[in-house]
């Protein structure tokens, strides 16, 4: 099927780390993405990882990829209130490379 799963909600204290998890559908997916969406806004690309990588770090963001389990995670270090948003993972599956399939989205709430 085409269900990319994420947990619905995550609440963290400011300054702590956040880990958002994603289970995708196609172990042969070439690119996997993380997008951020603030209320009423469009999608902001945070980072992406190519399928031949296990990890990618970009400032406060660390992406881990486990192809065997089709599991993707996004770690945000030193989480700030401005990180409060909905986070979507997305994949380009090998069976349809014209299509970007989004996960269900995780709402991250950061409290002081």
Q: How far is CA 21 from the centre of its chain?
A: 7
Nearer to another protein, 71 or 99 (CB): 99
Angle CA 16–52–85, to nearest 5: 30
If one asks whether residue 111 binds another protein (CB under 8 A), the answer comes out as no
Binding mask 20-39 for another protein (x = CB under 8 A): ----------xx-x-x----
Q: Which of 4, 3, 13, 5 is nearest to 108 (CA)?
A: 13
Binding site for another protein (CB under 8 A): 30-31, 33, 35, 40-45, 48, 50, 88, 92, 97-105
């Amino acid at each position: 099927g085409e269900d990319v799963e994420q947990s619905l909600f995550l609440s963290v204290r400011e300054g702590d780390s956040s880990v958002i998890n994603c289970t995708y559908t196609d172990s042969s997916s070439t690119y996997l993405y993380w997008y951020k969406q603030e209320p009423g806004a469009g999608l902001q690309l945070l980072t992406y990882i190519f399928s031949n990588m296990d990890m990618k770090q970009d400032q406060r963001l660390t992406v881990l990829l486990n192809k065997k389990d089709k599991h993707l995670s996004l770690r945000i270090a030193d989480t700030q209130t401005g990180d409060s948003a909905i986070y979507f993972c997305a994949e380009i599956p090998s069976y349809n490379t014209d299509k970007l399939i989004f996960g269900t989205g995780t709402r991250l709430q950061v409290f002081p």
